[in-house]
Structure 1
Amino acid sequence: MTALQRVTPRRAKSQLRVTELLAAARSVFSEQGFQRATMAQIAERAGVSEATVFTYFAGKRELCIQVITDWYDEISAELEQALPRLQGFHARLAFIIRHHLVTLLADGSGMCALVLGEGRVNAPELSEVIGECMRRYTAPLMDCLAQAQADGTIRQDMPLRLLRDLVYGSMEHVLWDSMSSQKSPAIDAIAEQLTALIWSALMPRDAALEALHRFRDDVQAALNRVDTPARSRTHPTRRNGPRHAAD
């Protein structure tokens, strides 16, 4: 047996062990948060000794950073792969909003609490890492906003960072609400409502005014269509002409 043959299985086994430890750590951090989670709990979840965990990770902070980084890598890659296949800014905006709500509320509510709550308030040492991850995660939206501004699809009188905060900030309130009430919202309905609301705020002023005028004209046309039969019933047309007293 060559040295390479001896090393390869050992490396594969080590990589598998790291993968198992990270999966166990994500589960524990999602359930307990950063402060309450312990290396002993993670070791028990992974089915190994606590010493084994320290063989691969220097401490709880380093392990949590890896968990957060891996999670953001996954959800960022999903956006980066999906958005180029969608046509038009509105479709991409709708996808980003729904993807964010599903990812953090349906698929990763524990991770949502970790990065929004524990990571920012109770574990400030993780804030810098989360900030770096967030920059990559929001980059696809920033690219979409920049392109939409350049071609005049959305308003050009506001900085991109403010528009980004409008999108993600509105969703963050929904996330905090869900975490504090411990209730799962109707994600599809909220995603549609937020998309409509944010889209109306992003539209160029002239386009928004034009859309309002079109809406007014459509309503008036609909009222006219309803009113015409009503008038006809009130004043029926005499088909045989006037009747005379001699008749």
Structure 2
Amino acid sequence: MPEVRFRLHLPPGSLPAGTLFLTGDFRGWAAEPGPFAFVQGEVRANLPDGTLTGVKVRLHHPDGTVTEEGDAWGGRAPAHPVVVRGPGLVELTVAGWQDARAGQGRPVRSAPPRQEVTLAAPWGPQRVRLWWPTGHDGPLPLLILHDGQNVFDEGPTFAGESWDAAGAAQTLAEAGWPCRVAALPVNEDRSRRYVPFPFELNAFASGADEYADWLRDALLPDLRERFGPVPASHVALVGSSFGG
């Protein structure tokens, strides 16, 4: 397998105490250094040719806690994409570290929702983030998006990049295909809510049926009351990974 060298570049004056290490898809996002600790600013890894992976730099503190690289505003940062095409060198530039600022003050690159409402659900209050194209206020085809924290703006996203659903939907509207978007943020119960069978990550208690019933019996009636009726043929559910 080809040897890939990862060379690390840190912001000036930001060398933290602890062990810097590489993690990513190729090692299951492991949270400990193992054999991937940076030595003199480099890590070497033998990866199969053609591997497509995302990687991040993390810091293992002396007390055992771990901090992940972030953006310059202390928020989450997207993974560095890597494609292995034979032996090579990958330059990794870290902009900052995730901290209590959580991305506050970061310039917004995507459009936020137009409205947020909270509905009652069996698992507690459920936020619903709503967006519709300019000039279209009546009934429209409805797109329900799981993982609603990732849908619009970057601030609350898991990976530091949003789907920019509003930008994409506005482009479609301008081409004659307007739709309304209802995005549903999820918390640490993601594995329970989206996976329709019991397994370790949902503590062997799937909540997918409960979630689907809530979509049918609570969300859709609420949206119908707010915006008017939409035929079932004009309603779609979209998600990624477990949400897909």
**Under a length normalisation based on structure 1, what TM-score does the superposition of the two structures give?**
0.24
The structure with the largest helix share of the pair is 1
Query: Which has the higher Rg, Structure 1 or Structure 2?
Result: 1
So what's the TM-score if we normalise by structure 2? 0.24
